[in-house]
């Protein structure tokens, strides 16, 4: 339960509502206790018609006996003298207490739900923000589905536990505790016997809770895997269909779905055991109490009406406390999602400390002896890579697939962190500068363009505060306005999830417009025009040639025309720099580049 307690303590952040909720629960319970205590005088009035006394007489006698707590005289004077009127008075009073207690109980449940919902909303915000601030490599290794599952599903399970803790558990416990105290007032001897069952109850709840926590953790892990499979299948539905892999995907889904069912059934079974076991214990206790009471009544040491009141109060206490067995298991079940959420929140962020801003790039970018591998067992994606790029230079990066091109350009915005070596911009190591100020200087366009559900305008403006005119100007520069104007709604046209309502070329133009809007000092183009036709690419290259004047450009491309557009070409092979120079120079000096130019680097004519 230690993980659940971490989040339960956060309810104190809403201390005013918390105090009110607890106060209302106690008030409702006190109303129940007063109602039970009032049954004593009522029975005295009803069951003893010959020697019965009125409420006024009973109250006066009570004060005469010099009890520690006295009934105020102004209340005594208002009590009826007639016995039947006293019964009516008590019944009306109990009815009023019931109404007031019911309202107090409603407000307690409402405030409890409000606190639980808002605490979980805060946790959900914190978890989501933390994932966005984590290092990209850590998120990619675990998979997006794992984090989405924990942020959405685990917080729901946590909310269920918090709601039970503050709502039903507090209400049932306070009512049961007050009823238990009333039973002590009537006859403490019977209550002592009832207390003997508490160790058995605690042991039973502990064993059940342990099974529930274990089963819940397995269930959440299986559901996470189920989410991963379903996300991959639906998002990659085109690939599934063209490869006729529907049966294989369905089999994988069904297998994991069975694991979810098995884990859930174990949890449900453990929870279902709680109620019957509590009922068996309750029957055993009441049977024992009835036997003891019968002996005492026969011996004359216990009055029958006091026995009834004591047993009745214990029954009310038992009825209130019995659901606690199920409620405790629900709270214990929330410990597993709490643990999974804390695991996320304890993962390091990519920037833990505040660093100084970096000035706008104006001198050089230096990669100094960079080595990087995606895992300890994997070969280095980059090995002892060193290069200096003057400001304003256009640098193309080429090489076979898997040679480290994308890895290299991912280092600059610190999406990946090298195991050794350093990267400097104008003499400042990028590890020692503010991450946002660094990325604000970069305009990045990748081959796999990501668009979000929203409008054309919001996707171009993404992450920036810009006027509508600036959005339009960027779209025109990227030659995207030609297709935007033909769409229903223009810049207000809706974009489907992942940009599926647009062609690949259209998505890339919007990505280029988004990058241009940032007014970057460094442009990173990773196959940025791979899905654009040759004519449009020529226009975009002309635009980029103008736009990138006075900006440093790193580009990865498979078209010879784009590579030749660069001032300088870097050739990578298995993470090692094997060529550095202009196109004509490398054709003479670098065998790998010559082969790439002949086989992989294509011209617009070749593509046509």
Ranges of each domain in the chain: 2-345, 450-519
Average pLDDT over residues 357-367: 92
- E-strand ranges in 333-391 read 364-372, 382-390
Residue 275 above 70 pLDDT? no
Contact 412, 552 (CB under 8 A): no
pLDDT attached to residue 420: 92
Pairing state of beta strands 394-398 and 568-573?
parallel
* pLDDT tens digits, 7-38: 888 888 998 998 998 888 888 888 777 777 76
| Predicted structure pTM score | 0.74
d(CA 185, CA 181) in angstroms, rounded, equals 6
170-186 helix and 304-321 helix, angle to the nearest 10 degrees: 170
Provide the pLDDT for residue 44.
60
Which pLDDT band holds residue 506 (cuts at 50, 70, 90)?
confident
pLDDT at 261: 83
Check residue 366 and give its pLDDT.
Answer: 94
* Torsion over CA: 138, 141, 143, 149 (sign): negative
Q: Give per-residue pLDDT as tens, 146-180.
A: 888 888 888 888 888 888 888 877 887 787 778 77
Q: Quick check: 55 pLDDT over 90? A: no
The pLDDT of 71-99, averaged and rounded, is 79
Give the model's pLDDT for residue 360.
Answer: 92
Q: What is the pLDDT of residue 165?
A: 83
Virtual torsion, Cα 120, 121, 122, 128, nearest 10 deg: 110
Residue 439 neighbours by CB under 8 Å, 6+ apart: 413, 414
pLDDT range class, residue 276, cuts 50, 70, 90: confident
User: Which pLDDT belongs to residue 382?
Assistant: 92
Q: Is the pLDDT of residue 431 over 60?
A: yes
Residue matched to tokens 């604000």: 440
Q: Is the pLDDT of residue 106 over 50?
A: yes
Find the angle CA(399)-CA(402)-CA(404) to the nearest 5 degrees. Answer: 70
pLDDT of 45:
59
* Average of per-residue pLDDT across 348-352: 78
Q: What is the mean pLDDT of residues 117-140?
A: 86
Place of tokens 């990865």: 556
> Predicted confidence band at 571 (pLDDT cuts at 50, 70, 90)?
very high
Query: Among 47-51, 96-100, 229-233, 476-480, where is mean pLDDT lowest?
Result: 47-51
CB atoms within 10 A of CB 381: 24
Q: How far is CA 585 from CA 552, 565, 597, in A?
A: 21, 14, 13
The bridge status of strand 494-495 relative to strand 454-455 is: antiparallel
pLDDT at 49 over 80: no
Q: What is the mean pLDDT of the chain?
A: 80
Domain 2-345 maps to which CATH number in 1.10.10.10, 1.20.1560.10, 3.40.50.2300, 1.10.1380.10? 1.20.1560.10
Q: Which residues contact 100 (CB under 8 A, 6 or more apart)?
A: 31
Mean predicted confidence (pLDDT) in 378-386: 90
Residue 122: pLDDT above 60? yes
For position 608, what pLDDT does the model report? 43
Whether the CB-CB separation of 112 and 166 falls below 8 Å is answered with: yes
Query: What is the enclosing helix (H) or strand (E) of 431?
Result: none
Query: Residue 607: is its pLDDT beyond 50?
Result: no
Q: What are 578-582's contacts with CB under 8 Å, separation 24+?
A: 580/387
Give domain 450-519's CATH superfamily: P-loop containing nucleotide triphosphate hydrolases (3.40.50.300)
Q: Return the pLDDT at 605.
A: 44
Q: What is the pLDDT of residues 507-557, one digit of tens each?
A: 888 888 988 898 899 999 887 666 666 666 676 777 777 788 888 999 887
Residue 100: pLDDT band with limits 50, 70, 90: confident
Q: CA angle 428-430-432, nearest 5°?
A: 80
Return d(Cα 524, Cα 507) in angstroms, integer. 17
For residue 591, list its beta bridge partners.
none
Q: What percent of the chain shows pLDDT beyond 70?
A: 82
Strand partners, 370: 385
What's the pLDDT at 181?
A: 76
With cut-offs at 50, 70 and 90, classify the pLDDT of residue 288. confident
Which pLDDT does position 570 carry in this prediction?
A: 93
The answer, yes or no, to whether residue 496 has pLDDT greater than 80, is: yes
Which residues, including other chains, have CB under 8 Å from residue 363's CB and lie 6 or more apart? 390, 391, 426, 427
The more confidently predicted of residues 56 and 536 is 56
Residue 375 has pLDDT above 70, yes or no: yes
- Residues 6+ positions from 61 with CB-CB distance below 8 Å: 53
């Amino acid at each position: 339960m230690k993980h659940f307690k971490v989040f339960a303590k956060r309810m104190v952040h809403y201390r005013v509502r918390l105090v009110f909720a607890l106060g209302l629960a106690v008030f409702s319970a006190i109303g129940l206790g007063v109602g039970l205590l009032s049954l004593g005088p009522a029975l005295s009035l009803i069951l003893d018609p010959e020697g019965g006394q009125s409420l006024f007489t009973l109250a006066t006698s009570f004060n005469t006996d010099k009890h520690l707590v006295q009934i105020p005289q102004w209340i005594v004077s208002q009590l009826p003298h007639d016995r039947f009127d006293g019964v009516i008075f008590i019944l009306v009073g109990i009815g009023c207490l019931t109404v007031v207690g019911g309202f107090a109980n409603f407000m307690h449940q409402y405030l409890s739900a409000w606190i639980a919902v808002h605490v979980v909303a805060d946790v959900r915000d914190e978890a989501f923000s933390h994932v966005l601030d984590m290092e990209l490599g850590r998120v990619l290794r675990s998979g997006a589905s794992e984090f989405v599952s924990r942020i959405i599903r685990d917080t729901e399970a946590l909310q269920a536990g918090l709601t039970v803790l503050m709502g039903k558990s507090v209400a049932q416990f306070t009512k049961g505790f007050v009823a238990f105290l009333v039973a002590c007032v009537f006859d403490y001897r019977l209550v002592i016997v009832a207390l003997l069952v508490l160790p058995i109850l605690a042991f039973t709840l502990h064993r059940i809770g342990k099974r529930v926590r274990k089963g819940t953790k397995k269930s959440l892990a299986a559901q996470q895997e189920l989410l991963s499979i379903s996300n991959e299948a639906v998002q990659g539905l085109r690939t599934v269909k063209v490869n006729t892999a529907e049966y294989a995907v369905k089999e994988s889904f069904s297998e994991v779905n069975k694991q979810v069912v098995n884990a859930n059934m174990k949890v449900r079974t453990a929870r279902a055991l709680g109620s019957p076991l509590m009922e068996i214990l309750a029957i055993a206790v009441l049977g024992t109490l009835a036997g003891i009471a019968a002996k005492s009544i026969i011996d004359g040491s216990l009055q029958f009406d006091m026995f009834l009141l004591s047993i009745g109060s214990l029954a009310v206490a038992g009825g209130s406390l019995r659901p606690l067995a199920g409620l405790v298991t629900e709270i214990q079940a929330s410990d597993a999602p709490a643990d999974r959420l804390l695991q996320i929140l304890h993962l390091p962020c990519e920037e833990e400390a505040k660093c100084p801003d970096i000035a706008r790039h104006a001198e050089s970018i230096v990669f100094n002896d960079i080595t990087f591998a995606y895992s300890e067992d994997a070969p280095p994606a980059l090995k002892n890579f060193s290069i200096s790029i003057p400001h304003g230079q256009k640098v193309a990066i080429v090489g076979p697939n898997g040679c480290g091109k994308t890895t290299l350009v991912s280092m600059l915005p610190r999406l990946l962190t090298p195991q050794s070596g350093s990267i400097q911009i104008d003499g400042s190591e990028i590890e020692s500068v503010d991450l946002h100020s660094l990325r604000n200087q970069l305009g990045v366009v990748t081959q796999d363009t990501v668009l979000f559900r929203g409008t054309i305008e919001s996707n171009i403006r993404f992450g920036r505060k810009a006027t509508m005119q600036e959005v339009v100007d960027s779209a025109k520069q990227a030659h995207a306005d030609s297709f935007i104007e033909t769409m229903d709604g223009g810049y207000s046209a809706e974009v489907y999830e992942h940009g599926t309502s647009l062609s690949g070329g259209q998505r890339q133009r919007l990505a280029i417009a988004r990058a241009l809007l940032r007014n970057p000092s460094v442009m990173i183009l990773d196959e940025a025009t791979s899905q654009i036709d040759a004519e449009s690419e020529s226009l975009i290259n002309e635009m980029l040639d103008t736009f990138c004047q006075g900006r440093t450009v790193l580009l990865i491309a498979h078209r010879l025309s784009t590579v030749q557009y660069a001032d300088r070409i870097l050739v990578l092979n298995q993470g090692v720099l094997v060529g550095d120079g202009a196109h004509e120079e490398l054709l003479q000096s670098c065998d790998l580049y010559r082969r790439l130019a002949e086989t992989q680097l294509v011209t617009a004519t070749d593509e046509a």
